[in-house]
Structure 1
Amino acid sequence: MGVALDSFIEITGSVLLFCLVFGMSATVDVSALRAQLQNVKAIGTGVFLQFGILPLAGFAAVRAFRLNHAEGLTLLVVTSSPGGSYSNWWCSMFNADLALSVTMTAISTCLSTVMLPLNLIVYARWSYNDDIVSSLDWKSLVIALVIVILAIALGITASAYFKSHAFNLNANRLGNFAGIALVVFSAVMSNSDADVRIWDREWRFYLGVSTPYLIGLTVANVLTSVLRLRKPERVTTSIECCYQNVGIATSVALSMFDGENQAKAVAVPFFYGLVEAVFTLMYCMMVWKAGWTKAPSNVSVWKMLSTSYEILNMEEDMDQADGYVRHQEGGMPLDASAVSQGKNATEPSKASILAQHI
Structure 2
Amino acid sequence: MTSSSPVFTTQEDRSARIAVTIFPLLILAAAALGFFAPAAGQAIAGYTSIFLGVIMFAMGLTLTLPDFGLVLRRPLPVLIGVIAQYLIMPLTGFAISWALQLPPELAAGVILVGCAPGGTSSNVITYLAKADTALSVTMTSISTLLAPLLTPLLTLWLAGTYMPLDAGGMALTIVKIVLIPVIAGLVIRLLFSRLVDRILPALPWVSVAGISLVVIAVVSGSADKIVAAGALVLLAVILHNSFGYLLGYWFARVLRQPVRTARTTSIEVGMQNSGLAAGLAASYFSPAAALPGAVFSIWHNLSGAVLAMYYRRSADRHLAADPHAGAEAPGLGADAGAGAPESR
Task: Classify the TM-score, shorter chain.
Answer: 0.5 to 0.7
Q: Does 1:74 align with 2:84?
A: no
Unaligned runs of 5+ in 1: 297-307, 315-358
Give the superposition deviation at 1:288.
1.5
Q: CA deviation at 1:219?
A: 0.8
Structure having the higher Rg: 1
Equivalent-residue separation in structure 1 for 2:228 and 2:310 (angstroms): 31
- For 1:319-338, list aligned pairs within 5 A: none
Aligned with residue 263 of structure 2, among 235, 244, 262: 235
Match in the other structure for 2:327: none
Q: CA deviation at 1:267?
A: 1.5
Query: What do residues 55-111 of structure 1 show as CA deviations (whole Å, max 9, x unaligned)?
Result: 111111111111111111121211112222333343356554232222212321233
1:177-197 deviation per Cα after TM superposition (whole angstroms, max 9, x unaligned): 434444544455555456255
Structural mapping, 1:149-228, within 5 Å: 149-150=182-183, 153-154=186-187, 157=190, 173-182=201-210, 184-193=212-221, 195=223, 198=226, 200-201=228-229, 203-228=231-256
Q: 2-side partners of 1:97 and 1:281: how far apart?
A: 16
Partner of 2:282: 254
Q: CA deviation at 1:122?
A: 2.6
Paired residue type of 2:104: H
- Identical aligned pairs, as a percentage? 23
- Once residues 165 and 282 of structure 2 are traced to their aligned partners in structure 1, the CA distance between those partners, rounded to angstroms, is 13
Other-structure match for 1:290? 314
Q: CA RMSD in A?
A: 4.0
What one-letter code is carried by the residue in structure 2 that aligns with 1:59?
A: F
Change (3 A) 1:107 1:265: same
Q: Deviations over 1:13-43 (max 9, x none)?
A: 43343224422x24xx82x742443312211
Q: In structure 2, the residue corresponding to 1:83 is in which secondary structure?
A: coil
Aligned length: 288
Q: Do residues 265 (structure 1) and 289 (structure 2) align?
A: yes
Question: Residue 22 in 1 paired to residue 61 in 2?
Answer: yes
Sort the Cα spacing of 1:234 and 1:47 in 2 relative to 1 into closer, same or farther, 3 A: same
Please give the alpha-carbon distance, in whole angstroms, between the structure 1 residues aligned to 2:335 and 2:84.
30
* 2:298 paired residue number: 274
Query: Residue by residue, what CA displacement relative to the aligned partner does 1:109-157 show, whole Å, maximum 9, x if unpaired?
Result: 23333322332233235x54x5424485444322222245415633773
> Which amino acid is 2:244 matched to?
G
**1:145 maps to which of 178, 185, 200:** 178
Q: Which has the higher contact order (CA 8 A, sep 6+)?
A: 2
Letter in 1 for 2:299: V
**2:230 & 2:336 partners in 1: Cα distance?**
48
TM-score, length-scaled by structure 1: 0.65
Q: CA deviation at 1:44?
A: 1.8
Q: Does 1:61 align with 2:85?
A: no
Contact 1:196 1:267 in 2 (8 A): no
Letter aligned with residue 273 of structure 2: N
Structure 1 residue matching 2:315: 3-state secondary structure: coil
Secondary structure of the equivalent of 2:117?
A: coil
| Residue 144 to residue 232, structure 1, CA distance change in 2 (3 Å) | farther
The structural deviation recorded for 1:286 is 1.3
* 1:132 corresponds to which of 165, 184, 187: 165
Q: Find out whether 1:101 has 2:101 as its counterpart.
A: no
